Amino acid sequence: MNAPIRACMYANTLHKVIWIVLVVVSAGLLAPPLFFFAAKKRVVTMIVPIMYAVVIYGSAFLGSVLGNPRNWVGGVLAIAMITAAVHASSLDTNWKFGR
């Protein structure tokens, strides 16, 4: 009974599917805004979107500045995209209607 009230991240299943597809189609570039909205709703802490932004945008920036001789940027973005999609799909798994 004393559990903190937590906001629902997604309005319905279609909303959840759209966000996950957008994260995958954008190669993870839309992951930081998604988790920023989740942080504003207090579903996750604010460090989560910051970390996604550092990894995703930082690797893309460093790849353009330093060059990409061994294609490491694509690997980092692929791993970050998969991680973000799985993380986004699990945001509302413990949310119960009626809270």
Checking if the pLDDT of 73 tops 60, the result is yes
- Condensed to tens digits (0 to 9), the pLDDT of residues 7-27 reads 778 888 898 899 899 989 988
Average pLDDT of every residue of the chain:
84
Which DSSP string do the residues of 22-74 spell out, in sequence order? HHHHTTTTTHHHHHHHHHHTTSS-THHHHHHHHHHHHHHHHHHHH--TT-HHH
Domain-located, residue 98: no
Count of domains for the chain? 1
Side chain identity, residue 40: K
Confidence of residue 97 (pLDDT cuts 50, 70, 90): low
Range of the domain at 80: 28-89
Confidence of residue 1 (pLDDT cuts 50, 70, 90): very low
Name the more confident of 46 and 13: 46
Domain-located, residue 47: yes
